[in-house]
Amino acid sequence: MTSTVRTDLPVTAKRKTLKWRERLMRSNRLFPRKLKLTREGKFFVFITSGVGFAAINTGNNLMYLVLGMMLSLIIVSGILSDLSLRGVEVVREGSPLFTAGHTGVLKVFITNHKRWLSSFSIETEEVLDYEGISQVPSHTLLIGAKKSESAFIHLKFPVRGQYESSGIALATSFPFSLFRKSRYFPVSELFVVYPPIFSEDDLKFPQKERGLDQSLAQIGRGGDIYGVKDHRPGDSVRDIHWKVTARRGRLIAKEYDRPSMRAVWFVFPNVVRSESEIAAFERAVVRVASLAVAYLDNSYQVGLVTYDGVLPPDAGPRQRSRLLHHLACLSTVVSEGGPSAVAPLAAPGNVAETIWVTHTDNHHLGAADNNQTIRVGKSGLAV
């Protein structure tokens, strides 16, 4: 029997291996504030040490005075930076949508709960322990007492999938940039990264033909009357059904059916023979997403069949989000026999059109009546 392994993320999105010191420094119980010397701070400490040795060797009171001033600057810097981070809270706003290979924006709110003191020069960043993620932290110059400020973190994920954030880190170099003091907030969040969408300009959508369109028994703005209802404020006067209005003695409005739309199924076996096919599989995921969005934009109902589940055909922005979310979280089934070694896939019911997408030469996918088969080669194009 062929063994099957499922993975939640592509193998290219690897977690970073944290050293024991990094894991220890994230403990708020042991280290409520994390301190790190900046480049300027290292230079200042080196000069301070030199002045201290000179004061001890010479016994010059002026040297001791300079040493005391420099040590005072270090102490003041530590106190002021600690006050900037004290009493500060950060929360994320909503769940932003990210696309692999494109920069997305995460909005957070930083609140200063201190009664009298402001916070200065606050830097905010997500704590993501994955390789290949590009991040531009946000910088907030001033947060007044008892006030909140919004900040924007720019994130760029390398591949689609689910990324778990360990929390949010706030840091400041105020006031002299000698030290970088940070505070860790263990507020986890799961980010779903959609596959990238490319233009499918080579697609030629045929005109609708009789017998290939499926009518929807739902209210819409089609040409046929679906039913009647009581006229409500905001309804158009042109929708009033005058004959029924005269018969019932009150204003009655028409309800129209939703225009019929052509349905298409995408069948995508998420199976690879080995990890060497992962790259080709990811290109196939991108092609399925691009084709599905192109069909949705051309007023098609689009359904999707994978080994992770079935999405019934539907249209509109919600269906687009459901399709992309399904493809973003699509697992990878590793089977030595390829798609033919696992249970066959098929589009349920009688549909007008079925499109099979595969990244291998193995087209024995369990059905012989498919309308179209697309194989994604090394270049990412159908061959």
- pLDDT, greater one: 359 or 173: 173
The residue type found at 332 is T
Residue 29 has pLDDT above 70, yes or no: no
104-108: average pLDDT: 94
24-38: average pLDDT: 72
In tens, the pLDDT along 273-304 reads 777 788 888 888 999 999 999 989 888 889 99
Mind giving me the DSSP string for 16-62? P---HHHHHHT-TTT-SSEEEE-HHHHHHHHHHHHHHHHHHHH--HH
Residue 20 has pLDDT above 70, yes or no: no
pLDDT at res. 277: 80
51-62: average pLDDT: 90
Question: Domain spans of the chain?
Answer: 20-194, 215-260, 262-375
Rounded Cα gap, residues 343 and 354, in angstroms:
18
Contacts of 266 (CB under 8 A, 6+ apart): 288, 291, 292, 302, 303, 304, 305, 355, 357
pLDDT at res. 334: 76
Residue 10 has pLDDT above 60, yes or no: no
Residue 366 has pLDDT above 70, yes or no: no
In tens, the pLDDT along 118-159 reads 999 999 999 988 888 999 999 999 999 999 999 999 999 999
- pLDDT, greater one: 256 or 7: 256
- CATH architecture of the domain formed by 20-194: Sandwich (2.60)
CB 360 within 8 A of CB 339: yes
Residue of 157, 161, 151, 153 whose CA lies nearest to 121: 151
Q: What is the mean pLDDT of the chain?
A: 79
Q: What is the pTM of this model?
A: 0.74
